[in-house]
Amino acid sequence: LGQYQDMIADMRLVDFKVRITQGGTAAVTRVVIDSEDAQGRRWATVGVSPNIVDASFEALIEAMQWKILHDTQKGA
């Protein structure tokens, strides 16, 4: 994570939800991650993929990107 490690160090997972849409071989997994930082800010991110690991990773990356972008814009 390099230069961004300090920006995401205070993040924590608040909730992790998994939904399987459709059924059978056409199933798609939707993962929603709720995150929070030390300032009490909360946000939710979503990942969607036929693979639950890929959907989870997508949601996690989105959560980190949101935190970094928000802190960079605010000058935190």
Q: Is the pLDDT of residue 43 over 90?
A: yes
CB 1 within 8 A of CB 67: no
**Tally of domains within the chain:** 1
**Furthest-apart CA pair in the chain: how many Å?**
47
CA–CA distance, 35 with 49 (Å, rounded to integer): 20
CB 59 within 8 A of CB 31: yes
Task: Quote the mean pLDDT of the chain.
Answer: 93
22-37 pLDDT, tens digit each: 777 789 999 999 999 9
What is the domain-level CATH number for residue 65?
Answer: 3.30.160.270
Domain holding 39, by residue range, is 2-74
